[in-house]
Amino acid sequence: MKFVRFDLEKVECEEERPAAEKVISGDPEFKTWNVEEVDGTRFAGVWESTPGKWHVSYDEWEFCHILKGHSILTDADGESHELKTGDSFVIRPGFKGTWEVVETTAKEYVIQL
């Protein structure tokens, strides 16, 4: 198939939490609808998290588009990026910092390992 619609009703939702040692505050819960996976190296779908703050470290390249909510992504140097509905951005491999969900946030993502 050469076309894939983001139809979340046809995709199984995976639920998880960040590892306990990464959590800084709150009790965030993640939901992920992985709509597309190619060769275990490319992924696309929707991710959602409830409020909380945790450490992140990216080995992959990721494009994100915020569908709803409010989050703050802060890099290891302390530079913060407010993320709100409609924002789009790329996280490059090697990014380290924190992700704080202020208001339940949902994003579309495309990941390349």
Residues paired with residue 101 on neighbouring β-strands, in sequence order: 52, 71
DSSP 13-45: PEEE---GGGEEEE---EEEEEEEEETTTEEEE
Question: For the chain, first and last CA: distance in Å?
Answer: 22
91 vs 110: CA distance, rounded Å: 11
88, β-bridge pairs:
65
Number of Cα atoms under 13 Å in the Cβ half of residue 9 = 0
Q: What is the pLDDT of residues 37-82, one digit of tens each?
A: 999 999 999 999 999 999 999 999 999 999 999 999 999 999 999 9
Instruction: Look at residue 1 in the predicted model and tell me its pLDDT.
Output: 73
pTM, to two decimals: 0.96
Token pair 């951005």 in the structure block, residue: 89
Residue-range domain boundaries for the chain: 12-112
**Domain 12-112 has what CATH class?**
mainly beta
- Confidence at residue 21, expressed as pLDDT on a 0 to 100 scale: 98
